[in-house]
Chains A and B, each alone.
Chain A
Amino acid sequence: METEGQNCRMGSYIYRPKKTKKVFERIRGASVIHILSHTLYFLSLYLSLYLFSDQVRVFPILERVDSAMISDSIPKASISMASSTPKNLPKKKRANRSAKVKQNKLVARRGQFISQVKNKIGCKDEANGEGGLHGGASVHPENERGQAMEKLEINPRGEEEIYGDGSPMNHYSDSESSPLNSPTSHTSSVLGSNGSGVQFTASSRSGSSSGRSSSSSSNGCCSEIMSEDDEEDDCLDDWEALADALAATEKKEEVHNPESEFDSPPEKHGIGSQSSGVVINPEIGGMAVKRDPELCRAWSPDDAFRPQSLPNLSKQYSFPLISERQLSRGGPVWGCKNVGGTVPTSCPICCEDLDCTDSSFLPCLCGFRLCLFCHKRILEQDARCPGCRKQYDRDDSIEKEATLDGGSLTIRLARSCSMITRS
């Protein structure tokens, strides 16, 4: 668990070596205070909740899973957590239940998010592979996949931390900016080192009614040290700080990460509006949630990521319309005597213009077209096709078949027409 968490961390920082150093320094400095705060907190908890000693043993495991899920815990923090599990035993059952519910929620959301990210990766890979519009396409997908795999690990965390707005940037930015924003330096350092935990606490508090107990079940225990009065304000502060930090870091990212921009040529080329790379991470974290309905669907026809090799359904559907327009425009040129497979603009019998219904009406397999009015009149008389002199079959089935046949004919013709216009 710890190694995984670290890997994630490394993955998220991989494009920012300088900052990584800073953070680790801060973490090292903070860890002492962190442990102190933990012990303090758990002592107080122990004293206050001593009476509820019939704690189910499952809870610490859940908690550990929780911490793993959040996975931002640096080794020391998680060790402290592990050591503190026996002290956590005396707790409310209610807390356990809410924690379970929350856990389920988190797991569900994580799965959802991972699938979304996977979708996204698939889309992008395909788009890049198909498009081949930029030279870097051959190198890019691998890069992207690597990063995306990191994202798979990272983003769920972001998602858990802040609902819908989660991103790997968040805890990072929080670790940077929260010392400035939060009032108590003591806790803020903890916040800095264990940012995700704090945010998780905040979110869980806003999310669940059993605020204190549930939040205490998470590893964001540091906030519990603060006084009750400060808690609400601090939460708000956290959120505000987060918002500020988000904005700030996005700007910083754009300025300070030229190599990451270099890594994401699609963005520069403007092909994939959202592409890989560290720069886009917040976008992906946030956008993936926003684009949820779109991702659940198949490719939308105007999607930038849509592989070009896929058959263009919308165009196919619009073929007959195009053909009609085209033919009606080119009608005077081609004339009504055009015998081939083309659709005449006017009925050869009555010389009235064929409307849409008439043009899609093909009563005979020979392909002779006429307006419905004339067709009816002919049916009233000798009921033979003017083109081939064969008896019109009064059976509707044949007529439908013929019409269908005509439909495909129309589509085929229209395709050729549209090809002409496109080229």
Chain B
Amino acid sequence: MADSPGRPDGTDDEDQDVLIGEEPGASVHPMLATEDSYEELDYDLNIEAPITEQRERLASGTIASIVEEHTGPASAEEVGTEATELENDVERSSLEGDLSNLQISEEVTQRRADTVPDRQDVPNDTDEEVLQNREAGQREIKDEDIHSSVWRDHKKHVFILSEAGKPIYSRYGNEDKLVSLMGVMQALISFVQDGKNNLRSIVAGGRTFVFLVRPPLILVAVCRTHESQQQLLLQLTYVYNQVLSVLTYSQLSRVLETRKNYDLRRLLGGTEKFLDNLLNLIDQDPSFLLTAVRCLPLDSTVRDTIGHSIQSAKIKDLVFAILIADNQLVTLCRMKKYILHPADLHLVFNLLNASTSFQAADSWIPICLPKFDSAGFLHAHISYLDNSKACLLLLTVDKMMFFELAKCKEKIVEKLKKHHCIEAINRAVAGGGYRCLEVGISDLRHFIYKSKSTAQFTAPELEAPYREKEERARLFNMYQYVHQRVHNAARPLKIMFHVGSREAMLGWVTTGFELYAVFGPLATKQVAILAVNKLLKWIKKEEYRLFILDPPEF
């Protein structure tokens, strides 16, 4: 293995081609926030931010300001009233929560789902409703014996608990049976906190334990994988954001401030599948690793037509219109003033990915996008267009806008149909992206390219020898490895060449882009460097197909 921290010899001329702002996929009109989540993590890692400061940093009033701007200050106050309403609800339910706790202590062995009214959506074993494949798989996992080696040997455990040590979520096994384990975690954290210090991670028994304290929650990952502490922290941050997307930070903190021992699962009931699905995606989808969004490769004229169609259906208070197909972004139309953070968009992707209920009918749901505004909900009209793979989300601040947005969607569908855009999207999805062969570099097997200025990335479809599930997972681990090496806080690298037994990998990070490329194991450093320069030229040539460079605005 050879690491070259500097610029490789003989490539200076080639490098001149890639000026900042002109690297492939660069755009001066970003539609996504491009701050690096890694920097943010550094902030968390290095600066002892007092809890209050963290809270201020999290909460913002974007939604209230949109409401005020469009309807005057009175309505903005209504948003506040709604929050109080919720609070009352919570107080009422927390009383019930306490009652059920009493029952629980009496019937320790009985499943919690049987005793708490609002968790009855979780069917118990005797339920006649057999779960659907994916969900059934999850259910089995929840019933796993926590004393078995199968449970202990899972590659990555994730736990969520309250600051009081109450279990909220476990990726594997029933969290009710993990009360004492979570108690130990809480004890460890508060012991270290007592000494005016923070517990970050423990390495023991071939496992890494990573702790993320986000008052009023504690998130813990326990891994047998080789992911770095930073990568795991980033993953825990996504999990935390997923919780916020259901509750909002305001509600979460209010509930747990009023009652420290509140059982948060009452409010999170039915969302375990979103957490489960998120963790599965994190283990296979590079967008989380890169904090970037993948766009559906599409002819730029088609993409523009789609953008115009959405733009022309604009109505008041529509903040974002997002068109997604097959976990890839087709287009994102936004109110001029507001941009989305990729981490928020990941939550949207996860929402669609985790539930099949959206395919059946038009849906209307509240969703909090924590980077956009952790204090309140946006309301999303979600519909698959004309039974295609394309799913349209219309986000607004007004919860009464369902019918306006339904009409807006009809208009968009009409326009898209007229220009045959839905067929074009279906074709692009069915085609499965583009092939690495198109680039015309013989030894190049696969690559991932992220344009930093747009927070978008592109990658060809996975082909032999990465067709099998195990091989895909191994390749993903290799990408994770190169990623953590180049981003190592103590010793960051600009370029890295790694030769393994089954492939050679090149990682290259500049101010404008990140590139990871996979070659056959016999490729030399020189060959690889020449190849990636050719690759950059190819991406530049294709950039309007691979990226959204001119995002539409309302």
Q: Say whether A and B bind each other.
A: no
Residues of B within 8 A of A (CB): none
Interface of A toward B, CB cutoff 8 Å: none
